[in-house]
A = this chain, B = another copy of it.
Amino acid sequence: MDEVMIAQVRRFNRVVTQQVGALTDRFLARDRPLGESRLLWEIGSGSDGRDVRSLRTALDLDSGYVSRLLRSLEASGLVTTERSPADRRVTLARLTEAGEAEKDVLDERSDELATQLLEALNEGQRDRLVAAMAEVERLLTAATVRIAPADPEDPAARHCLRAYAAELNERFETGFDPGRSIRADAADLRPPAGLLLLATLHEAPVGCGALKFHGTEPAELKRMWVDGSARGLGVGRRLLAELERRATAAGAPAVRLETNAALTEAIALYRSAGYVETDAFNDEPYAHHWFEKALPPG
């Protein structure tokens, strides 16, 4: 890695944590511990109440700690809690009117902070700053996406596979019925028969991709999907590259896939990654295009 780049990243980290980080904290904490403000903010204005479990994972806090913070917010009249009717073990937290007002104040202060930052700049600088911030945010998010194998029965993986099917059903002119399509069960996507890669951002699943191995025959690419919120971050490309690496490692001479004409971005991705359209190598009813890419010998 280039030293100049590393130095730039470090300088950025220092400047940003000092200027933005410190300010943000100072603005958020107003006569109240920072933890409480953050929790207040995170509970947000959902009318249904936010379950404590999701608060814990979102803020990465100890369950006892969150419980105590909630008690304290309740004591100040900013939050109410109740047990969920659906599962009476889980607690739902909800902002009171005073809590909403307090959150609005935090919002305002946050806006104020941002405005103050922008005000010192002229219009051209402002535009460039905002554009650069968007770029940094996007790429930092992209850099945070982790790709790792997962079991197809794992809840996060199942979420992705369901979302995949739902999206196909929405986008295909004919809809999509998994029963009519060539099957790829959990067992097919689990080593040694195949494998499934999961892309996660923080703890949330944002994409997947799978392989079915066929010994010394080409491996089949399956279940490529990226969540809408994570598109444009290069997740698909990274999944594809990692799948190819693993196919090579498993001894496959090539990767094959079939796809539907409605999936234009996917097709563009395959082409730009070096996949070449070939004759149909199976009778998948939903497919319009078949692609193949030779792998370097592993």
Contact = CB atoms under 8 A, between A and B. Distances in A.
Interface of A: 1, 5-6, 8-13, 15-17, 19-21, 24, 110-111, 113-115, 117-122, 125-126, 128-130, 132-137, 139-146, 234, 237-238
SS of A interface (majority): helix
A145 B10 CA distance: 21
A119 B147 CA distance: 13
23 contacts: A5-B114, A6-B118, A8-B130, A9-B117, A9-B130, A9-B133, A13-B113, A13-B114, A15-B137, A15-B141, A17-B17, A17-B21, A20-B140, A117-B143, A120-B142, A120-B143, A121-B143, A122-B237, A125-B143, A128-B135, A132-B133, A132-B139, A136-B136
Contact of A142 (B21, B125, B136): B125
A164 to B, nearest CB: 23
A171 B189 CA distance: 71
B118 A129 contact: no
A136 B21 contact: no
Given A21-B21, A111-B10, A1 B118 contact: yes
B19 A144 contact: yes
B141 A120 contact: no
A142 B114 contact: no
A134 B137 CA distance: 13
Contacts of A16: 16-17, 20, 136-137, 140
